Structure 1
Amino acid sequence: MTELVSHPAHPPLAVRSVEARIIGHDAQWLRARWKIMGAGKLVVPPFAGKGRADGLWQTTCFELFLQHGDGPGYTEINLSPSERWNVYDFTARREGMAERPMPREPECTIRQGTDMAIFDAAIPAAGLPLAPWRCGFTAVIEEQGGHKSYWALAHCSDAPDFHDPACFTATIAAPTAP
């Protein structure tokens, strides 16, 4: 697991840590997991059914940014515990946004205990750009009372900006053969 850091201008209340990692990557699926410790006051959006949606970042959601090669373009994957999702391509930092076609919907589940929550996502590999990637794991965590914290591998500015390529510090290799 890779530990994410909360943005210093938006510290969490009860959440102690957020970790993320790739738990599987083959020709069919890219599987990612986020683990939240101190999740007793975590706000989990209610089930909304599968489907694309915008604005998922306005409450608890999990994101993965993938950048292939050295170019400015990248893909943003937004995943919600409500099972809503979206995938966008950008031509450069926050420019040229377009919904990326996906061959099928991602699969998402959340398991929550008294202190820990696990969010798992399986994203169809056929809908993603070719690996290897520079990657940014992120999370927006909402706690009771509407308090939000913003988690990423790195924060490089005074305000949270998950689109900053300097935050894409992890690497993901090409998928393994079946």
Structure 2
Amino acid sequence: MEELTPHPSQAPETIRSVKARIIGRDAQWLRVRWNILGAGKLVVPPFAGRGRADGLWQTTCFEMFVMPGEGPGYSEFNLSPSERWNAYDFTARREGMSERPMPREPECTMRKGTDMAIFDAAIPAAGLPEGDWLCGFTAVLEEEGGTRSYWAFAHGGDAPDFHDPACFTLAVAAPKPA
């Protein structure tokens, strides 16, 4: 598990740690997991059914950024506990945004206890960029009362910005042919 850190300008109230990692990758799916400790006051968006939606980052949302090769283009995958999702391509940092085609919808599940929450997502492999990547796992976590914290492997500026290349720190090798 890779540790995410909250942006210093927007500290969480009760969330103590967030970790993320790839838990599986094969020809069909990329499986990723986020673990949250101190999740007792975490706001979990209600079930809305699968489907694309914009603005998921306005409440609890999990995101993955994938930059193939040297960039500057990259893809963003937004995944909500509501089961809504979206995927975008960018030609450069916050430029040339377009909806990324997906062969089928990602699958998302959230389990929340009194102190811990686990969010799992499966993204169709055919909807991911090919080759080696630099990857960033992020999370927007809303707590009761409206506090939002912004978590990433690294932060590059005075305000939270997951599109900052400083957030793309995890090297992921292309899968080996079977």
Q: Give the TM interval when normalised to the shorter protein.
A: over 0.9
Alpha-carbon deviation of 1:166?
1.5
Task: Give the C-alpha shift of residue 26 in structure 1.
Answer: 1.1
- Deviation (angstroms), 1:177: 4.8
**d(CA) in 2 for partners of 1:103, 1:146:** 35
Structure 1, gaps ≥5 residues long: none
CA contact (8 A) 1:26 1:176 kept: no
- Equivalent position amino acid for 1:81 in 2: P
What are the residue-to-residue correspondences of 1:8-47 with 2, within 5 Å?
8-47=8-47
* Deviation at residue 175 of structure 1 after TM alignment: 2.1
Between the aligned residues of both structures, percent identity stands at 76
Could you state the TM-score of these two structures normalised by the residue count of structure 2? 0.98
How far did residue 176 of structure 1 move?
4.6
Letter in 2 for 1:2: E
Residue number in structure 1 paired with 2:148: 148
1:120 partner amino acid: D
Alignment of 1:7-156 (within 5 A): 7-156=7-156
For 1:165, the equivalent position in structure 2 comes to 165
Two-structure CA RMSD over aligned residues (Å): 0.8
CA distance, structure 2, for counterparts of residue 68 and residue 163 of structure 1: 14
Q: How far apart, in 1, do the equivalents of 2:90 and 2:156 lie?
A: 20
Displacement, 1:97? 0.3
* Residue correspondences, number: 178
Query: How far, CA to CA, are the matches of 1:11 and 1:47 in structure 2?
Result: 27
How far is the alpha carbon of 1:27 from its aligned partner? 1.0
Distance 1:176 1:111 in 2: 32
Counterpart-to-counterpart distance in 1, 2:147 and 2:78: 20
Q: Distance in 2 between matches of 1:149 and 1:22?
A: 22
Structure 2 unaligned residues grouped into runs of 5+: none
Aligned to 1:4: 4
- Kept in 2: contact 1:139–1:152 (CA 8 A): yes
CA distance in 2, matches of 1:135, 1:80: 19
Deviation at 1:71, TM superposition (A): 2.4
Output the CA distance in 2 between the equivalents of 1:127 and 1:27. 11
CA contact (8 A) 1:26 1:177 kept: no
